[in-house]
Amino acid sequence: RCDNAVGGDSVAGCAVPSVMPVVPLKATSSDPGGAVAAYGWAQKNLDGAWGTKGSPLTRATSGAAARTAATCAGFTPETELVDNDTCGDFP
């Protein structure tokens, strides 16, 4: 599958379903340890094991606003800790 739906300055790119990228994360490196622990726990304990070989991540192109609203319904920004704190976007 090839597309350029991400936008911005990116050009078209392709995904090869038979090739799954591996992103190694180590809590002992410069990676945020809490996030690494959370990802590992989620892959081992939550239904679906998202991001593993048997359940690769996908990009949904519709329904993003509804998913963001459901996920962020109780979010309270903490701008004293993170400038422009938001639930739906990473800084």
Question: pLDDT (tens digit, 9 = 90+) per residue, 7-18?
Answer: 666 666 777 777
pTM reported for the whole predicted model:
0.45
Q: How far apart, in whole angstroms, are the C-alpha atoms of residue 76 and residue 31?
A: 25
pLDDT at 3 over 50: yes
Residue 29 half-sphere exposure, CB side, CA atoms within 13 Å?
6
Tokens of 47: 């239904």
Residue 38, domain extent:
33-71
Structural domains in the chain (count): 1
E strand or H helix that includes residue 14:
strand 13-14
Residue 51 confidence class, pLDDT cut points 50, 70, 90: confident
Q: Is 89 a domain residue?
A: no
Q: Is 38 a domain residue?
A: yes
CB 89 within 8 A of CB 82: no
pLDDT at 27 over 80: no
Q: Is 41 a domain residue?
A: yes
pLDDT digits (tens, 9 = 90+) for 29-47: 565 667 788 888 888 898 8
Distances (CA, A) of 1 to 14, 52, 59, 60, 74: 5, 20, 12, 13, 36
